[in-house]
Structure 1
Amino acid sequence: MIKDNQLRQEAFTEIEKNKDLVMQDPYRLTYHLMPPVGLLNDPNGFIQMNGVYHLYYQWMPFKTGHGAKFWGHYSSKDLVNWNHEDVALTPSEWYEKNGCYSGSAIEHDGKIYAFYTGNVKDEQNNRETYQCLAISEDGINFDKKGPLVYLPEGFTSHFRDPKVWKQNDTYFMVVGAQTNDLKGAVALLKSKDLFKWNYVGIVAGGGKGKLGEFGYMFECPDLFHLDGKDILVFSPQGLEPQGMKYQNVYQAGYVVGEFDPETGQYLHNDFEELDRGFDFYAPQTTLDNQGRRLLFGWMSVPDQNEQDHPTIEYKWIHNMTLPRELKMVGGKVYQVPIEELKQLRSEEVVSYIVKLTKESKELDGIHGKSVELYIKDIDITEGWFEISISDGGRIVYSVEEKVLTFERKSYVNGMTEKRQCPLSELSNLHIYIDTSSVEIFINDGQETFTSRIFPTPLNDTIKFGAAKHARFTVLKWDIMD
């Protein structure tokens, strides 16, 4: 307890010491969740209890690099207005001394049971891993119960990120893993009481089935039921680029299948990326009281040029995506902005019906660094249609190629880089711009592109262009701080 209190105080001191510098950053976001100082990564323990949403997160308060992680904590009653709470977990015990790594939360007997990975390294950097439990009555103060799951046979010490749920009268846990022969896998465990866990087997990957040769590590698994199907979301590491696919250092995506809770078998189809942009990883979902499957993702990717990131000089780095609702449409997972985000809109809406002929133009009143755009009734007869977001990003759809492209200026070398996906037609775009981020929802959530962008700080222009002829309706709202 003494070390725990000491770490909490040190984190608070770091916040106070750097808060003025952090707030001076021109790339600080307006309506996304960010760390008050230091580094933020994976969403953890996403849950709603007693009408309050809790989102915990991997947090390194003392630097903008990785290290012995804490669990930071945001809470909200509406998914729009968030409070930054006291530290939830500190790496204060022997079984977590090198970090309280990612995990999940479940409600049981009116309490939050948070499962997480305790990370331990020795002087030679050899790793030990423990799946641990901490219990809270209020979602803020936690009582640690220590390790419950030790490393099963057949896996390396890269065994982490437990996600727990209840199905029928049994609790299940999936854990991201690496087999001894260096294959990415998702391990399955089960329990009757949340304390004693039995290893069942590998539910996906491990050198077999459709995910047989599919990277060397699976992180942040999440298995849940959605509209009649069982969806396994995970983040594989070690995939080689294939055409437009797998262009980031690591990926995040899902497979669709059927899970048998009696046998632990999971039959599924091929892997599909959840997001096509530059910055999306380690998503986690929860089922809220309205029956919605909600998702937060980390708006970055591990090992992706963090040392060059523009916000480091202001003593912070990274943020969460906006909360999204998941839906199944024709066997595919769609992501849509949650309905509550409409509360962010200013009362005034600017709208146009636009016709473009071989031109690029700005529209009066449609500009800004913190805005929501909805472009609908898009009709492009030939050529391409584009939207330029200041000098930070560019969305292009080619009718002939049937490809949607997002381009941005690299913050590493200033060169233009792009991400793409095939798209048979473009009917609408829902775009959230927030200072140094953009989230693009295409065709009612059929595809998404999530990216950080770093435009010239005073540039808030938005331009529309067409190579031939384009007609569309655009609506714009300013987002209130």
Structure 2
Amino acid sequence: MSNLDQQLRQRAYDEVKKHRREVEVDPYRLAYHVMPPVGLLNDPNGFIQFNGAYHLFYQWNPFKTDHGAKFWGHYSSRDLVHWEHHEIALAPSDWFDKNGCYSGSAIEHENKLYLFYTGNVKDEANNRETYQVMAVSDDGQQFEKKGVVINLPEGYTPHFRDPKVWKHGEHFYLIIGAQAEDLTGKAVLFCSDNLQEWEHLGPIAGAHMGPLNDFGYMWECPDLFELDGQDVLIFSPQGLEPSGIYYQNLYQAGYVIGKMDYEKVQYEHGLFIELDRGFEFYAPQTTVDEKGRRILIGWLGMPEEREDAHPTIEHKWIHSMTIPRQLKGINGKIYQQPVTELQELRTNHCAYENVELTTKAQGFEGIEGEALEIYLETLETVTQPIKIHIRNHANIVYHPTDKLVKLDRISYVDGKTVEERFCHLQQLTNLRIYLDTSSIEVFVNDGEEVFSARIYPKQEDQGISFAADGSERVKIEAWTLKSR
């Protein structure tokens, strides 16, 4: 480890100690989500199960609550519920990553953990260079950088980053989010026999390729994997224009489903579907665990979009991860479901088996507070709008006539404006809501649709109420969730 590396790490640790008290007293500090100890957290990186533990690395700026030279922070967990924070995995200390150890992934090979990430370099005129870098660890804790393994190929701008690596058959593959020289987003594939020497196979998907035409100027954080017999490409395109109720955030995160032909280096796929219909969700990454589950964690944030307005900034931190979600392929669509391990957080269960919702909003004993899991199941075909009012700050509404689900919230920018996000839904059968101190994640119809958002209610507003425009019968359960 170089002197500069040691100095950067020590500065980061000093920053954590300096602001620990400010962070801890923030009433919006989350109860059971992964957060930074101080500073800014963004993309999940290197998500993997290694030596019996789940490792989750993350983009981290410990020095301020906006973007800058990123470290790789590091959490691990035995159960996806209780997370332990570790020493910094990567620091921006070398010529190839001096302006940031940007996003990447991990793979286990010969009982070692390999990290692949993008080294970001900028000159005084803010011109960018990017390098794909490898680091190796024997124990999953201490990492040695092995240097650059992929330089920028011809045909792309320096917006070339976020390597995701996996093994298929006898070969290793790596996919990178890129911008072609014609300023269109691409997903670019590489192949290797040894993880060190990589062959550029070219783009397998992108704007003006296949069914995606004018589809963004940059694709970030690609992730290609097999799910229930089909090949799924998750990515985060930048530059999509809003279209009706779709693409309403500054940037999007979603997927296409198809079939990857590794011999011909061809990927035929369908249209893009958003993974999350909420306000804050970006740069998701997946892994397969020893149980064979494909698990996703996303950044419960949005780059560059009103980040300076989050109220946590005055307490020297910003952003979190989503809860872990298991992915399933059902009828040509990805369903997301909270991992079953999260049930360990449950306490103080209450159930109301046959509730008639009416125009008069009803609260129920035991369904209130800051950290809750709420489950609502409809007992008959819904014909009237159903509304759940959350902590005097947010609403979940199903409109059966319009066949729309809506999540709205009071804007954290001005504390007044009501913001809305929607998805189409033929019929509502159930809702599962994970509510935390300053976040909400809504799983509709067993994860057919999902909404994720940060919310900042007043501390004294603890109530949850339920109503319908007419008469609708439902079952409601709830659990208080313990802090991790």
Task: Indicate whether the TM-score tops 0.5.
Answer: yes
How far apart, in 2, do the equivalents of 1:357 and 1:77 lie? 44
Match of 2:467 in 1: 465
Structure 2 CA distance for aligned equivalents of residues 380 and 20 of structure 1: 51
Pick the structure with more strand per residue: 1
Post-superposition Cα deviations, 1:334-379, rounded to whole Å, max 9, x if no partner, equal 0000010000101533434210222211112211110101111343
Name the structure 1 match of 2:33.
32
Write the deviation string for residues 184-205 of structure 1: whole angstroms up to 9, x where unpaired: 1101111010000010011101
- Residue by residue over 1:17-71, the C-alpha shift from the partner in whole angstroms, topping out at 9 and shown as x without a partner, is 1111001111110000000000000000000011110000000000000000000
Q: What residue number does 1:186 align with? A: 187
Q: Which amino acid aligns with 2:424?
A: P
Q: CA deviation at 1:407?
A: 0.3
How far, CA to CA, are the matches of 1:224 and 1:179 in structure 2? 23
Residue identity opposite 2:459 in structure 1:
P
Residue 288 of structure 1 corresponds to 289
SS of 1:42's equivalent in the other structure is strand
Supply the AA of the counterpart residue of 1:241: P
1:218 alignment counterpart: 219
- Find out whether 1:305 has 2:306 as its counterpart: yes
Q: How far has the Cα of 1:381 moved from its partner? A: 4.3
Query: Residue 366 of structure 1 aligns with which residue?
Result: 367
CA apart distance, 1:383:
2.7
Task: Judge which range, 92-101 or 455-464, deviates more.
Answer: 455-464
Unmatched runs of 5 consecutive residues or more in structure 2? none
SS of the residue aligned with 1:96? Answer: coil
Q: Is the 8 A contact 2:260 2:268 kept in 1?
A: yes
1:66 aligns with 2:67: yes
- Partner secondary structure for residue 102 of structure 1: strand
The 5-angstrom pairing of residues 65-464 of structure 1 reads 65-346=66-347, 348-379=349-380, 381-413=382-414, 414-464=416-466
Separation of aligned partners in 1, 2:316 and 2:474: 42
Q: Secondary structure at the match of 1:236?
A: strand
| Contact 1:286-1:293 at 8 Å conserved across structures | yes
- Write the letter of the residue equivalent to 1:455: P
- For 1:349 and 1:290, locate their aligned partners in 2 and report how far apart those are by CA, in whole Å: 31
Amino acid at match of 1:295: L
The 1:123/1:334 distance shift into structure 2, 3 A limit, reads: same
Q: Which moved more, 1:125-134 or 1:376-385?
A: 376-385
Alpha-carbon distance between aligned partners in 2 of 1:421 and 1:442, rounded to the nearest angstrom: 10
Residue in 2 that maps onto 1:477: 479
Looking at structure 1, the residues matched to 104 and 96 of structure 2 have their Cα atoms a distance apart, in angstroms, of 15
Distance 1:231 1:105 in 2: 18
Of residues 386-395 and 348-357 in structure 1, the stretch that sits farther from structure 2 once superposed is: 348-357
8 A contact 2:384–2:472 mirrored in 1 = no
Q: Secondary structure at the match of 1:18?
A: helix
| 1:396–1:206 CA distance, 2 compared to 1 (3 A) | closer
RMSD over aligned Cα atoms: 0.9
In structure 2, C-alpha distance between the alignment counterparts of 1:422 and 1:429, rounded to whole Å:
14
Deviation at 1:208, TM superposition (A): 2.2
Matches of 2:277 and 2:382, distance apart in 1: 25
3-state SS of 1:341 partner: helix
Matched, 1:10 2:7: no
Question: 1:299 is matched by which residue type in structure 2?
Answer: L
CA shift, 1:303, in A, is: 1.2
Tell me what 1:56 maps to: 57
Confirm or deny: 8 A CA contact 1:381 1:469 kept in the other structure. no
SS of the equivalent of 2:29 reads coil
Counterpart of 1:95 in 2: which secondary structure?
coil
Structure 1 runs, 4 residues or longer, greater than 4 Å off: none
Please list the CA deviations of residues 283-308 of structure 1 after superposition, one character each: whole Å capped at 9, or x if unmatched. 00001000000000000111110011
Secondary structure in structure 2 of the residue aligned to 1:248 = coil
Contact 2:348–2:366, Cα closer than 8 Å, also in 1: no
User: Is contact 2:382-2:427 (8 Å) kept?
Assistant: no
**Identity level (%):** 55
* CA contact 1:40–1:318 (8 Å) conserved in 2: yes
**Cα distance in structure 2, aligned partners of 1:81 and 1:336:** 18
CA contact (8 A) 1:100 1:119 kept: yes
Distance in 2 (alpha carbons) for counterparts of 1:209 and 1:371? 43
Q: Which amino acid aligns with 2:451?
A: F
Moved more, 377-386 or 28-37: 377-386
Q: Would the alpha carbon gap of residues 348 and 421 (structure 1) be closer, same or farther in structure 2, given more than 3 Å must change? A: closer
User: Distance in 1 between the 2:144 and 2:269 partners?
Assistant: 38
Conserved? CA contact 1:44–1:103, under 8 Å: yes
- Kindly tell me the number of residue pairs found equivalent between the two proteins: 481
1: distance between equivalents of 2:202 and 2:212? 15
> Structure 1 stretches of 5 or more lacking a match?
none
Shift of 1:448: 0.3
Letter in 2 for 1:392: H
Amino acid at match of 2:258: G
Q: In structure 2, do the counterparts of structure 1 residues 196 and 462 end up closer, same or farther at CA, with 3 Å as the change threshold? A: same
Look up the equivalent residue of 2:435 and give its one-letter code: I
Instruction: Indicate the SS of the match to 1:362.
Output: coil
Tell me the TM-score normalised to structure 2 length: 0.98
Shift of 1:81: 0.8
Between the aligned partners of 1:211 and 1:11, the Cα distance in structure 2 is: 42
Q: Secondary structure at the match of 1:244?
A: coil
SS at match of 2:96: helix
**Which deviates more, 346-355 or 112-121?**
346-355
Letter of the 1:442 counterpart: V
